[in-house]
Amino acid sequence: MSKMSKGGFAVVINIDGGSRGNPGPAGAGIVIRSADDDTVLFTGGEFLGQQTNNTAEYAALLAGLKAAAKLGAGEVKVLSDSQLLVRQMTGQYRVKNPNLQKLHEQAQDLLGQFSRCTFDHIRREENTDADRLANQAMNLKANVEDSAC
């Protein structure tokens, strides 16, 4: 994959990951909107197989960052209801779990494609579209793309 230019426009990425059981069947949901006018640019859900909640949250982050780069975004604001993920990505918490360390490193590498990236923790009620997509992927046991939000 080629590196995107760091110019690009700004996007807001809502992500959510979850599993039914911990570990259990897992899914990730992603909604990308234009930061300028809130236009939905991408929606998708990924079925992840057997994962933990935390690995599903990171899978959503990785998928969201890859999709934003593919769209040509230069700046990203990531919104997640996972306090752990947000605090690990902002450096407030160390990443102790070896599986999460690998995913964290991959996310850090992807961040290099953007001129600016911020992370904000939001309440679960503010993340319903991404949550719905993660659940849809778990229900179907399949990836879903560009679903109506």
Domain ranges of the chain: 10-145
16 strand-pairing partners = 29
Q: Judge whether 82 and 130 are in contact, CB under 8 Å.
A: no
pLDDT at 6: 66
Question: Two tokens at 46?
Answer: 């990924």
CATH architecture entry for 10-145: 2-Layer Sandwich (3.30)
pLDDT at 117: 97
Determine the Cα–Cα distance for residues 92 and 52; give it in Å rounded to an integer. Answer: 22
pLDDT at 2: 35
Q: Give mean pLDDT in consecutive 10-residue pieces for the chain, a chain of 149 residues.
A: 61 98 96 97 97 98 97 97 98 97 98 97 97 97 75
28: closest CA among 146, 147, 144, 148?
144
pLDDT at 145: 84
